[in-house]
Structure 1
Amino acid sequence: MFEPGDPARTGRVAFWDPAGGTPPASPGGEPGEADLVVPDEDGFTVRTVPVLRLTPARALPVLLHARRTTSTAPATAAPPASAAPATTAAAAPATATTAPTWPPAPATTATATATAEPSAPTAPLTATTSAPATTAPASTLSETLADLTGPADDDEDGQGVIVRWDGTRWSKDPAPGLPDVWEWSSVTAVAADDVWAYGTVRRDQRLVHFDGTRWTTVPTVGPVDDSFPEVPLDAVPGRLFKGGDALYTYADGAWQTFALPEQVHIRDIDALAADDAYATGMKYPVDGGHPVTYHWDGTTWTLLEEVPVRAGTDTAKIAVESTDSVYVAGWADDDARPPIPSVAHWNGAEWRDVTGDLSALYVHAIAPDGRGGLWVTGSDQTEPTSSGPVFWHYDGTVWTEQDGATAPDGDARWPSYTFYDLAPADDAGSFWAVGHYTTPLDPRGDQDVHGLIERSTPSPAS
């Protein structure tokens, strides 16, 4: 149930258990009680029940997860511990429509190369597509070949989907071998014939590999991370990295597990090579906890110095350009004002807070610009309330805010655009941004959530 607040941003979503149990603890959650009017033998009665209160931003992925769980009523679902914003957003069925694109994206044949980082800053995004399924993490192989993952539309009978860009359009990947899952939450590609994806169904995990012809399920290790089931993946030639409540590496058919302290969860991984990777996450709970960042040297993981971010910041994103240029980002809740983002930069020897003018943003995605700078996006909460998609660029000194493209049927009154991942679209500085947007409320008070893919175009200066 939603409990309104004044100002509106202080409202909370309260979860309760119809059976009378106590909802599980969750990072960022506020345990408490609430008086509810519930049916009984004589009609209705008032009952005090234990609840877990979450901010709308933290509650959204929980509600969307419950929506996909046919055995659970979303209105009363006790949240899993993964109440922090996930890297995946669910959506109602979307009609595939494309807004006018300028300049138009090139239509070329699919030729796979190693993943290329953007080489120059880009202009605001101009291509807007309502995706065939909700979009989540993206992995780029080349200008003409990319993969996206996400949960299924309602007509997919609960099966997650992987969609691919072939240089002209996005479409559901037709390759055989994918098992049924509720959602594919991570995808990472080394080449056109070396792609990995991770998904979950109930409390089981699925790891699959694509060899250019078909998908094959690969046995994985460790339990599902109940706190954050959408665990990160990153692959480089010769090795796969997997996060969660431990750090896992996979090479030559064998897994290696690096145990983490209790309540430490890895939220993002970015690898440069099989012997050079970085991972970030948190020692939870957020209030009283602290960020963690690890480095992999080909043999083991080593804990780096603590990232200098504001207390209460949930660090969940990492972007690596080189061994002396690593960015970590997150955001903090504050009931009295919009979210407070934080970005820190590692120069190979020490961390430096580079948040600067970045403000009022739930940070869900970051990506290097290929020139020492950074692109950042997520969900803009600037006051007075606006509705458009927003991207921030950091050139190493100054932050610049840029507008993305709006969907023709997007809500124009409230914050309605959220991006969960960024990936390079070519070697000229363009990138893909994937997420979702909402439509205006209809007369019944309902709204649709559509998957969203946007593509930037290089600026004339680049």
Structure 2
Amino acid sequence: MKFWRVPLAAAAAVVMAAGPTVPAPASAATRGDFKRVSLPFFWPNNSLRDVDAASPDSVWITGSQGEITLPGPIPGTGTSIPGNPVVRRWQNGEWVEYDLLGLPGHGGINDVDAVGPEDVWINGTDYDAKKPYVAHFSGSAFNQVTLPPGTTATTLQADASGVWLSTSTDLYRWTGDIWTDEWTRVTAFPEISLDTSYVRADDDVWRLGTTSEWSSTFVAQHWDGQTWKNAPIHADGLGTGFGFTDMVALSPTDAWAVGTDYGTSPASAVMMHWDGTAWTKAAVPAGLNALTRIIKGVDGDLWALGHNLDEAAKPGLLHYSGGTWSRVPTTAVPNRTNIYATALAAVPGTGALWTLGTVNIGGPVVLTDG
């Protein structure tokens, strides 16, 4: 999961198991022909927050459903009853549900990271217990993982390099196994107002944000395994209306971050690049007024997701290859005039993309070009 500093109201304003032979990844030219994937029944007031893929037959979505608001004696004084968690796996052409052990009541799952088809991590909130919920998939159910003492908030990142847990104060790496719940502390965090973060290794950790919640002084902090250092960040022209939404680090000298500047009219998509010396703005292809996600593809390239200003019913998709970002044509969501896409995943082996977001009519949608 990534932190979002820009208020959701501002975002709303922008809106209105694989076989033995693995196919070669499809070229970027074949991507973007999105088709809607039918969703299972969810209770009203549902939302989907993340998608990730371990194989063409192991694609995961997470979110929540069924939140209820009881009206109060005067408008605006109602009571909200939290909904229930959503975790589903796309397998054999249908959605499969698994037990979330240790989360018997109300809750929401913000993040899913699929390291392998049977090696999946989720992170969210147990609303009844008022504490974070982290669990690991065993192949038949999600088993709750014990968190470091005193943990009150978490973000999770799990991939081939390891499993990383960020609390409000510290970074931990998973060193347990199926028998033990064990986290090894990597470092304490310096204090900033955090937008987004990324862990590539024990000695390559980034945190991007501002010096305080309402500050327009942007800061990029890097952990090299020994100390935290402030990296130069050239954010000329960006003020309190801007916030980073996601980032990815490819090496100690190559990292990318995306965000949206709501201080312009219309809002504008922003991308920044770290070249080992400083963070500087990168050119964004015209037509997008928000960037929400950036991921590594299956063949070493990059994909960025956002909102199309000029074709609002089509997900905004950018591709990076050969040193250049280019806009990728996408298919419009049928019978809708707007989609605000917020999550993106590339399927290992095929390169197919899955995305999800909200549309102007109805609940969330899930799309794939696979």
Q: Which of these residues, 53, 58, 61, is aligned with residue 145 of structure 1?
A: 58
| Cα offset, 1:191, TM superposition | 2.4
- 1:175-186 correspondence runs (5 A): 178-186=103-111
Query: After superposition, what is the alpha-carbon deviation per residue over 1:406-444, rounded to whole angstroms, capped at 9, x for unaligned?
Result: 13x42x3xxx311111111232322111222231xxxxx
Could you say what secondary structure the match of 2:364 adopts?
A: strand
Matched residues in 2 for 1:427 and 1:110: separation?
9
Q: Which amino acid aligns with 2:188?
A: F
Between the two proteins, what is the percent identity of the paired residues?
20
| Contact 2:352–2:368, Cα closer than 8 Å, also in 1 | yes
Q: Distance in 2 between matches of 1:304 and 1:249?
A: 22
State the partner residue of 1:128. Answer: 36
Spell out, residue by residue over 1:279-332, the C-alpha distance to the aligned partner (whole angstroms, 9 max, x if none): 4444343542314243464x6655433364642231120123344432111111
Listed as ranges, the gaps of 5+ residues in structure 1 are 1-25, 30-53, 61-84, 86-108, 226-230, 440-447, 458-462
**Which residue does the alignment assign to 2:318?**
392
CA contact (8 A) 1:310 1:342 kept: no
Residue 349 (structure 2) aligns with: 427
Which one-letter code corresponds to 1:318 in the other structure? M
SS of corresponding position for 1:292:
strand
CA pair 418-118 structure 1, distance change in 2 beyond 3 A: farther
Q: Please show how residues 248-263 of structure 1 align to structure 2 within 5 Å.
A: 248-252=171-175, 253-256=182-185, 258-261=188-191, 263=192
Corresponding residue of 2:114: 189
Partner of 1:198: 123
Corresponding residue number in structure 2 for 1:215: 142
Match for residue 330 of structure 1 among 238, 256, 259: 259
The residue identity in structure 2 corresponding to 1:206 is Y
- In structure 2, the CA distance between the partners of 1:398 and 1:354, relative to structure 1 (3 Å rule), is same
Contact kept? 1:308, 1:353, Cα under 8 Å? yes
Q: Is 1:354 aligned to 2:282, yes or no?
A: yes
Question: Quick one: distance in 1 between partners of 2:55 and 2:207?
Answer: 24
Q: Give the conservation status (yes or no) of the 8 Å contact 2:169–2:188.
A: yes
User: In structure 2, what is the Cα distance between the partners aligned to 1:399 and 1:168?
Assistant: 32
Q: Which structure dedicates a bigger proportion of its chain to strand? A: 2
Instruction: For residue 28 of structure 1, report the CA deviation from its aligned partner.
Output: 5.3
With over 3 angstroms needed to count, the CA separation of the structure-2 counterparts of 1:397 and 1:238, relative to structure 1, is: closer
How many residues are paired up?
Answer: 334
Distance 1:287 1:177, change over 3 A: closer
Alignment CA distance shift 1:455-1:248 (3 Å)? same
* 8 Å Cα contact 1:321/1:370 also seen in 2: no
Once residues 259 and 398 of structure 1 are traced to their aligned partners in structure 2, the CA distance between those partners, rounded to angstroms, is: 32
**2:220 paired residue number:** 292
1:267 alignment counterpart: 196
TM-score (norm 1): 0.62
After TM superposition, give the deviation of residue 453 of structure 1 in Å. Answer: 1.3
Quick check: 1:181–1:199 contact (8 Å CA) kept in 2?
no
Residues of 2 paired with 1:246 and 1:186: CA distance? Answer: 20
Cα separation, 2, equivalents of 1:187 and 1:309: 34
> 1:57 is paired with a residue of what secondary structure?
helix
Describe the shift of the 1:369–1:213 C-alpha distance in structure 2 as closer, same or farther (beyond 3 A): closer
The reply on whether 1:455 has 2:354 as its aligned counterpart is no
Please give the root-mean-square deviation of Cα atoms over the aligned residues, in Å: 3.7
Where relative contact order (Cα < 8 A, 6+ residues apart) is larger, the structure is: 2
Structure 1 residue 168 displacement after superposition: 1.8
**Counterpart Cα distance in 1 of 2:25 and 2:293:** 15
- 1:315–1:330 Cα contact (<8 Å) kept: yes
